[in-house]
Amino acid sequence: MAKAKEKDVKTNAMRILESLGIEFEHSSYEAGEFVDGIATADKLGLPHEEVFKTLVTVGASKNYYVFVIPIEAELDMKKAAKSVGEKNVEMIHVKDITNVTGYIRGGCTSIGMKKQYVTRVDEIAQLYDKIYVSAGKIGAQIRLKPDDLLRANGGEYADITKEM
């Protein structure tokens, strides 16, 4: 099992993966101001198609939902809502991210949020042996098997992105 290097600060997500016996690799870069997932992938020299971002929405029921999609993709709100049994969902306000998830914008991951929210990972993740997701802080990414991500975040695969 991979562990975070001692000089690196372990994130809550990494501790959870280790406690579950899930293998992962850790990549980090000198964090500045967060721009977007594409800039993060470029800083680390990662293939864009294997890097996923975490989006948090709120449904008509006022329940929160988490969606993990490729960094170059756009969430299809109708498909997303249908995948969680809602009439509609909308993105939460940036100012609410920390309150809802426990993470900050740019460092949000579906692993180890304040509460276990219904989570969907775009089905395209299944095409890759491993994918990259945020490790829970700006400047840190983890690489793991998509099925292991589901094991850690309690999610399911779904068709949730717009056709490109």
Q: Is residue 50 a part of any domain in this protein?
A: yes
Q: What is the pLDDT of residue 125?
A: 97
CA atoms 111, 97, 41, 49: torsion sign: positive
Domain assignment present for 164:
no
Count of structural domains within the chain: 1
Locus of tokens 């945020």: 134
User: Model's pTM, two decimal places?
Assistant: 0.90
The answer as to whether 2 is a domain residue is no
Whether residue 6 lies inside any domain: the answer is: no
What pLDDT does 33 receive?
62
Residues of the domain holding 130: 12-158
Q: Residue 80 contacts by C-beta under 8 Å, 6 or more apart in sequence?
A: 57, 65, 67, 89, 120, 158, 160
Whether residue 115 lies inside any domain: the answer is yes
* Backbone phi, psi, residue 10, to 5°: -75, 140
Indicate which CATH number applies to the domain containing 80. 3.90.960.10
pLDDT, position 32: 65
Q: What is the pLDDT of residues 42-84, one digit of tens each?
A: 888 889 999 999 999 999 999 999 999 999 999 999 999 999 9
Residue 161 CB coordination number (10 Å): 19
pLDDT less than 70: residues of the chain: 1-8, 31-35, 164
- 1 part of a folded domain: no
- Say if 67 falls within a structural domain: yes
- As beta bridge partners, residue 158 has 122
Predicted confidence at residue 8, as pLDDT, reads 55
Whether 63 is in a domain gets the answer yes
